[in-house]
Amino acid sequence: MAMKKVLLLVEDDEDNRDLVMFVLKRSQMDIDLIVAENGKEAIELAIDRSPALILMDMQMPVMDGWTAIPILKGDTRTKAIPVIAFTAQVRKEDQERALSIGCAEHYAKPMDPEELLNVIRKYLIDKEK
């Protein structure tokens, strides 16, 4: 039996966290969702749990995604984990900046549940084939 894939959601907004949790539950994908509320927690969890994918909000207190992602990408234990910038910042410069610091993808909020699931599936499910 395949192990559950670990998905790390890094998001300081409770409504957004609840929404992602709800969408994932409803999708019935076999995912173990772990949650961090800032970049500092995200780095600790990523090292501890080695998630298969990280959804990273870019604007957060304590440490934002712009700071956390280069740290994750610079650490041999976490650099291979795909990170999706999960952000309300949708300008082209933000997208380019997210990709330039190592994000696999830039996903704009507000999220469309189906679209978000497709992005997650692309990294967690399709990678197994």
Model pLDDT for residues 25-62, shown as the tens digit of each residue: 999 888 999 999 999 999 999 999 999 999 999 999 99
Q: Is 129's pLDDT higher than 60?
A: no
Residue 128 has what pLDDT? 54
As a whole number of angstroms, the distance between CA 86 and CA 121 comes to 15
pTM: 0.92
Query: Which residue ranges make up each domain of the chain?
Result: 18-128
User: Could you tell me which residues are beta bridge partners of residue 85?
Assistant: 56, 106
The pLDDT of residue 109: 84
- Only one residue has tokens 């497709």, namely 118
**Contact in structure between 103 and 110 (CB atoms under 8 Å):** no
**Residue 76 scores a pLDDT above 60:** yes
Q: Say how far apart CA 54 and CA 57 lie, in whole Å.
A: 10
- The CATH superfamily holding the domain 18-128 is Response regulator (3.40.50.2300)
